[in-house]
Amino acid sequence: MDSKKRRVLDTIQLHKQLLADLESNCVEAIEQAAKMLIDCITSGGCIYICGNGGSAADAQHIAAELVGRFIRERKGLPAVALTTDTSILTSVGNDYGFEQIFSRQVEALVGENDILWAFSTSGTSKNILAAVELATQKGAKVLSFTGKHDSPLETASDICVCVEGPTATVQEVQQVAYHILCDLVEEAFA
């Protein structure tokens, strides 16, 4: 077998392994997260989502699925990606430092009926942890997706979906998990 074919097969096998881990270890957390998200929306709260790099794109993706639609027709649901306003990100980053680009927005926007949905594959991103800490102080719930068990992010979260593995593969498996959550939330409001 040539090296390219081996690489393709190895990558597929790795995805199967991480999806099996998701199935074995995260179903309960996903069910709890769906309930928490539905309760938040039902009580008039909003879901705020943050992450860095590829996870910033995930934050936007989730917000789009909730505000727009995932599969079914239904009313728009309250969700905001904290990763999208370049004026806020750059002014806060410049004036206060990169570690506060999300916490400053949490300070201004998040209330006790809201959820902060935080992504950090390492579970140690300082700007994510600062946002989580402030959201918790303000009485909001925290849902996190990470790739490291026993990370500071997992410890600081009300609910954590954690699948360990290489960063890119973890992010791809997280997409499966958050699509499941979008489906479950949407079903409640369709």
pLDDT digits (tens, 9 = 90+) for 140-180: 999 999 999 999 999 999 999 999 999 999 999 999 999 99
- CATH code at position 157: 3.40.50.10490
Per-residue confidence band for 1, with pLDDT thresholds at 50, 70 and 90: confident
Q: Which pLDDT belongs to residue 53?
A: 97
Contacts of 83 (CB under 8 A, 6+ apart): 49, 50, 51, 56, 57, 59, 60, 89
Q: What are phi and psi of 110, to 5 degrees?
A: -85, 135
pLDDT > 70 fraction of the chain, expressed in percent and rounded: 100
Q: Is pLDDT at 115 greater than 90 in this prediction?
A: yes
- State which residues form the domain around 29: 3-189
How many structural domains is the chain composed of? Answer: 1
With 0.85 as the threshold, say if the pTM is over it: yes
- Nearest-angstrom CA–CA distance, 80 and 59: 8
Task: Report residue 167 as tokens.
Answer: 């960063």
Q: Which pLDDT belongs to residue 141?
A: 99
Across the chain, mean pLDDT equals 97
Contact between 126 and 99 under an 8 Å Cβ cutoff? The reply is: yes
Q: Is pLDDT at 65 greater than 80 in this prediction?
A: yes
Q: Is pLDDT at 20 greater than 90 in this prediction?
A: yes
- How much is the average pLDDT of 14-43? 98
Task: Report residue 42 as tokens.
Answer: 């039902």
Contact between 18 and 93 under an 8 Å Cβ cutoff? The reply is: no
